[in-house]
């Protein structure tokens, strides 16, 4: 490829595209990477590129500088991340590499490599976000990068920047039908078509499989979506919306964990009653293996399983939005309790919770049945000024004893843990269940949104002839939390409306409507784009009248549709009469029109020179003007001598046909 000098306008266009493609990454990168990125690109644009001998005389110095910057950059990245592998590290190095490549760009090959790096940088943004605004933004960047490539190959400079952007966007829009055909008909497989590195979801917010004081109350500060739910029928009451997650059995006195391995459920030990609730749950990526389901799940979907304590799990961590078709019963009796489970459900650290144990001993002496002890403890919570709050005092000693007999201020994890300890101290098997409670109904899309601030913890106790029974002590301390939702129990827990709008009911209501409409749009995007898997594809094909289509039939149909679309496009281009958008062509057509009015109509088979010879043979006195106009047109059209365009325009405008006297 010829080593031509890259003009400043081409370098500026390319630099802008790469800068905008990397801009969303900047907040995620070490602060010095964006600084180097900007510095290197600005340095390349500042270099005296017009001096032809500059690169030859300074080549070794610039090459040494690039090597040193790369070495220092790699060392800095390793120091920052502690590794040279993974998503974050790879993208950081890519941003650094793109700026270094611009710095060394001199030839056409360098330009193309930088442009392709820019396209690749666009794709990497989807490693973090796959939202609609991200797609729109990346489409804009792709348009700019494509315009750069078109402009780079526009040797005659026929297009100004606005025309380049228009042509680029037109080309991309024209590709949309083919894109839609491939998206809809390409045979789908279970799971995403491409995965993320292991570090891609390390900072995801959500319920963990362990609980300690303050762990859940931190989640309540987040309004991020945990999952969305579409119900086949009516949405159950808020008090029945317990979304079961990790079940915690073991405690060291402060922290609760599951303890032993979670065995798969071998046989059902649950009796359901009443009507079932069918729903589709669209789970956000969690990088965890558990799925939240409405208590109590009837059966596990095909790619998941139930554990012995009725927790729904998958074999692999969930790293992409995933839809699950589920069926649950809000009325049930969970019966199974093995000897091993009994031991685990009564275990407590030997030297912990002394005051709680003494209190439980008093209750055992005073009351005869487990039901009476449970009610006594709940009454005691209600009668002793316990407070439900997101900001309880710090627990420095025995967390349970200090909470029950000193501070008496806490969030759901405090009450669930303390209640479970009192149950076990009273000889009643108990365990902690974590998950979410309630949800926000979106009337625009008619679905339920469960956010991180709906995180919750409750207890389950084993009662003879009743099995595992859910007991939520929070319902005693703050009944509105269970019946009406977290928003009414602790309004300050959620920044649901911007502070400036909180005191204006009209603006606040408008904000809520806009927010719900956007959330509905995001939900549909998640269902039909991000969650477009085999089930969703078959559902759409059924709507189109294509039922029971296997992957072989889909592949054949895909090629037929693509081939048909390309054929139709080709026929359209053949039939359509293109307008003379080329200025030289337009001026020459004007010249031909002047001759046609005098009887010299240009035939379809005639080239410019043949046409000129025919006119000259008949009208010798026009030879000079006709030859000059034809020569200028041929030079511009076929030898790319665009500098003669103004001369052609003037010659055509001043041309006047006059017949010779001999005729």
Catalytic residue annotation: 412, 456, 472
Buried b (16+ CB within 10 A) or exposed e, 33-71: bbebbeebbeebeeeebeeeeeeeeeeeebeebeeebee
3-class secondary structure, 435: strand
End-to-end CA distance of the chain: 57
Structure tokens at 10: 């081409």
For 485, residues 6+ apart whose C-beta sits below 8 A from its C-beta are 238, 438, 439, 440, 454
| Listed residue (391, 371, 388, 389) closest to 379, CA to CA | 371
Give yes or no for a contact between 549 and 541, defined as CB atoms under 8 angstroms apart.
Answer: yes
Identify the bridge partners of residue 291 per DSSP, sorted by sequence position: 312
Which tokens is 105 given? 């760009």
Work out the burial of residue 153: count CB atoms within 10 Å of its CB; fewer than 13 is exposed, 13-18 middle, 19 or more buried.
exposed
> Rounded distance, CA 532 to CA 540, Å?
10
Q: Which residues of 96-133 are buried (b: 16+ CB within 10 A; e: fewer)?
A: bebbbbbbbbeeeebbebbbebbbebbebbebbebeee
- How many Cβ atoms from other residues are within 10 Å of residue 483's Cβ? 14
Q: Which of 398, 395, 394, 392 is nearest to 411 (CA)?
A: 392
The DSSP code sequence of 328-384 is E-SSEEE----HHHHHHTT---TTS-HHHHHHHHHHHHH-SSHHHHHHHHHHHHHHT
Contact 94, 29 (CB under 8 A): no
Q: Both tokens of residue 38? A: 């900007």
Residue pair 302/247 in contact (Cβ under 8 Å)? The answer is: no
Give the residue from 584, 588, 587, 590 showing the smallest Cα distance to 643.
584
Angle subtended by helix axes 132-153 and 108-124, to nearest 10: 170
């Amino acid at each position: 490829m010829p080593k031509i000098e890259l003009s400043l306008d081409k370098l500026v266009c390319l630099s802008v595209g790469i800068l905008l493609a990397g801009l969303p990454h900047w907040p995620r990168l070490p602060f010095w990477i964006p600084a180097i990125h900007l510095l290197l690109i600005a340095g390349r644009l500042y270099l005296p590129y017009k001096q032809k001998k500059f690169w030859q005389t300074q080549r070794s110095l610039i090459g040494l500088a690039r090597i040193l910057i790369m070495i220092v950059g790699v060392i800095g990245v390793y120091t920052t991340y502690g590794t040279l592998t993974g998503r974050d590290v790879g993208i950081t190095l890519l941003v650094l590499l793109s700026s270094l490549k611009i710095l060394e760009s001199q030839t056409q090959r360098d330009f193309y490599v930088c442009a392709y790096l820019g396209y690749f940088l666009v794709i990497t943004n989807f490693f973090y976000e796959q939202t609609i605004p991200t797609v729109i933004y990346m489409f804009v960047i792709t348009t700019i990068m494509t315009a750069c490539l078109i402009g780079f190959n526009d040797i005659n400079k026929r297009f100004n920047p606005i025309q380049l952007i228009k042509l680029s966007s037109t080309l991309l829009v024209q590709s949309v039908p083919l894109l839609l055909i491939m998206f809809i008909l390409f045979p789908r497989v279970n799971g995403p078509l491409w995965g993320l590195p292991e570090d891609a979801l390390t900072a995801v917010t959500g319920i963990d499989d362990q609980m300690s004081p303050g762990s859940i109350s931190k989640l309540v500060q987040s309004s991020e979506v945990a999952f969305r739910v579409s119900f086949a029928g009516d949405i159950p009451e808020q008090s029945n919306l317990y979304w079961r997650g990790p079940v915690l059995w073991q405690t060291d006195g402060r922290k609760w964990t599951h303890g032993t391995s979670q065995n798969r459920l071998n046989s059902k030990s649950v009796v359901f009653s009443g009507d079932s609730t069918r729903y589709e749950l669209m789970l956000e990526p969690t990088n965890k293996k558990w799925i939240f389901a409405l208590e109590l799940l009837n059966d596990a979907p095909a790619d998941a399983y139930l554990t012995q304590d009725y927790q729904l799990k998958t074999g692999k961590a969930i790293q992409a939005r995933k839809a699950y078709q589920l069926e649950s019963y809000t009325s049930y009796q969970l019966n199974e309790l093995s000897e091993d489970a009994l031991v685990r459900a009564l275990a407590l650290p030997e030297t912990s919770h002394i005051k709680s144990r003494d209190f439980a001993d008093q209750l055992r002496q005073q009351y005869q049945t487990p039901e009476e002890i449970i009610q006594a403890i709940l009454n005691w919570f209600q009668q002793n000024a316990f407070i439900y709050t997101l900001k309880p005092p710090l627990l420095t000693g025995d967390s349970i004893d200090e909470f029950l007999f000193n501070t008496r201020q806490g969030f759901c994890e405090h009450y669930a843990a303390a209640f479970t300890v009192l149950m076990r101290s009273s000889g009643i098997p108990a365990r902690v269940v974590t998950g979410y409670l309630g949800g926000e109904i979106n009337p625009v899309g008619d679905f339920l949104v469960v956010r991180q601030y709906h995180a919750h913890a409750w207890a389950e106790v084993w009662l003879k002839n009743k099995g595992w029974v859910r007991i939520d002590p929070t319902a005693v301390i703050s009944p509105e939390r269970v019946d009406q939702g977290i928003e009414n129990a602790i309004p300050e827990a959620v920044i649901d409306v911007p502070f400036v709008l909180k005191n204006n009911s009209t603006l606040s209501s408008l904000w809520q409507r806009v927010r719900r409409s956007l959330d509905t749009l995001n939900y549909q995007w998640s269902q039909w784009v991000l969650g477009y898997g085999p089930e969703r594809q078959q559902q759409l094909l059924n709507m189109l009248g294509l039922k029971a289509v296997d992957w072989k039939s889909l592949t054949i149909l895909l090629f037929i549709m693509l081939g048909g679309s390309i054929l139709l496009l080709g026929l359209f281009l053949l039939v359509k009469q293109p307008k003379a958008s080329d200025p030289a062509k337009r001026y020459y057509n004007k010249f031909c029109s002047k001759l046609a009015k005098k009887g010299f109509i240009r035939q379809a088979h005639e080239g410019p020179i043949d046409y000129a010879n025919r006119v000259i043979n008949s009208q010798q006195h026009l030879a000079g003007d006709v030859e000059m106009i034809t020569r200028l047109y041929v030079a511009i059209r076929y030898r790319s001598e665009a500098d003669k365009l103004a001369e052609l325009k003037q010659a055509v405008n001043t041309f006047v046909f006059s017949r010779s006297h001999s005729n």
